Amino acid sequence: MREAIQTLVPVENGDPGEDAGAEDCSFMLAQRLSANSREIVRLFAILTLSLSAAHLGVMFVLPHLGVGHGSVGHVVGGLMLAAAMFPILYFAVVRRLAAKNKALIQREHQLCLSRNQLESRVAQRTAELKHSMERLQAHQSEINVLGEMTRLLQASHSLAEAAAIARLELLRLLPGLAGSLYLLNASRNLLERQVAWGGEIADKELFAPADCWGLRRGKAHVSDSGPGIVCPHLAERDVSWHVCIPLAADSDAIGVLCLQAAEDMSAESAERRYGTPERLQFYETVAEALSMALSNIKLCEKLQHQALRDPLTGLYNRRYMLDALERELALAKRNDHPVSVIMLDIDRFKTFNDTFGHDAGDTVIAAAADVMTNAVRQSDFVCRYGGEEFMVVLPQASPAAAAGIAERIRRGIENLAIIHQGQSVGRVAISAGVAGYPDIDSDHEGLVEAADQALYRSKRNGRNCVTLAGTTQRAEEEVERLPASA
């Protein structure tokens, strides 16, 4: 009956599509059926009231108006017949309409469910797409920072500078993680921490390469509070989550990058947030960029060292020294402070070579270089000028102070007891000449020449002594040069 009446009355609810889910469709259907029930009640009430009114009219009102029972009786009879025909008409005609309406409602319900499912799927896909876009943007941002870090590292002039840059950039690149960067020392038997960031570090400051499973395996190694193997270089063994990523260039290990969660959290949480295969792969990409940049800097430093240093003594070479003197002299003139130069030459060096061989000569040169390096200040420059000749540049030192240092060197070398292949090479002595600005007001070449002249005066005066150059002596010294073989 409810469905039949539905075909006769308008739908009184809103658009069912605005709510999602089967519950909404059921709710909408219930609303519609409830509206139909109300219409049925209303229809029967109208029908009952009409019949009652007709009946009352016939029984009480019409007789007073003088209307006969005959014609009214026919009308009333017709109405009664119509009322009696209503159920018959309903079952004959309206029921078919009701069946169609029921099918329509069911189809509408199905459509509503399908639409809701579709909308739900669209919403799900939209959320996935949004998440994917966010991840892509985050990844792009990481790639940008990584690129910037690589460019800055490539422009670095030293490992210390590169390590400081790496610290700043890794803080940006790996939020939520603390870390430390280790490099192998020259002897390759120790990893030394260069920088650390992000909080308290669980790793020791120094450790042997064998103490890191990441280095031993040549791949990222995770240490956590689980049953797995924990790297022995972790000072705090109960760290919840920690990863070591080896740094290598051309299959040659150069260090290790250690990362850990910056804040306290369970191993499971840290693993979920920082230890996914995708994140580990990203850390390896970062380590690879670091490795390439640091390896290049190490190589450049090595080449620079070789270009500037004498291989036997480790002292600066002549070219570097002349550049340094020119720079220091310009600074001295601008700032009105002194700068001095000491020229030194090992006395009778040729006899060491002739008597004990060239290796013994090299031993003497190396021992003399050690004495010089230990006698000067950290700000001074010592160089092997050539053969057995040396030069020292002393910024902000007066000629008199430089002469004092030259005398200290002379005594130190005089007191050397050099043994070569189990045999003493005898006493070693050195002569020195000292010149300084502003006593010698010249360019750097003039200053070197003045010190050189003073050196030859020491040779002429019996060797194993120090001579201070003076402006009044310079012309005389230029004439009285000793042979180069002195």
Catalytic residues: 388
Query: Least separation, in Å, of the C-beta of 224 and Zn ion?
Result: 12
Pick between residue 179 and residue 214 the one whose CB is nearest to Zn ion. Answer: 214
- Shortest distance in whole angstroms from residue 271 CB to Zn ion: 17
Query: What residue type is assigned to position 462 of the chain?
Result: G
Nearer to Zn ion (CB atom), residue 239 or residue 432: 239
The residue (of 170 and 409) whose beta carbon lies closer to Zn ion is 170
Half-sphere exposure of 151 (CA within 13 A, CB side): 6
226 DSSP β-pair partners? none
Residues numbered 234 to 293 that lie near Zn ion (CB under 5 A) are 244
CB-count exposure of residue 198 (10 Å: 0-12, 13-18, 19+): buried
Closest separation between CB of residue 231 and Zn ion, Å?
3
In angstroms, give the least distance from the CB of 18 to Zn ion. 58
Q: Is residue 76 involved in binding Zn ion (CB under 5 A)?
A: no
Site string for Zn ion, 200-239 (x = CB under 5 A): ------------x-x----------------x--------
Specify whether the CB–CB gap between 179 and 259 falls below 8 A.
Answer: yes
Q: What minimum distance in Å lies between the beta carbon of 281 and Zn ion?
A: 18
Nearer of residues 134 and 205 to Zn ion, judged by Cβ: 205
CB of 195 to Zn ion, least distance (A): 17
Q: How far is the CB of 285 from Zn ion (least distance, A)?
A: 19
Using the minimum distance from each CB to Zn ion, give the nearer residue, 226 or 386.
Answer: 226
Size of interface with Zn ion, in residues (CB under 5 A): 4
The smaller minimum CB distance to Zn ion, of residues 261 and 430, is found at 261
Least distance (Å) between residue 223 CB and Zn ion: 7
Name the residue nearer to Zn ion (CB basis): 151 or 217: 217
**Between 5 and 256, CB nearer to Zn ion:** 256
What character string, x for contact with Zn ion (CB under 5 A) and - otherwise, covers 314-353?
----------------------------------------
List contacts with Zn ion (CB under 5 A): 212, 214, 231, 244
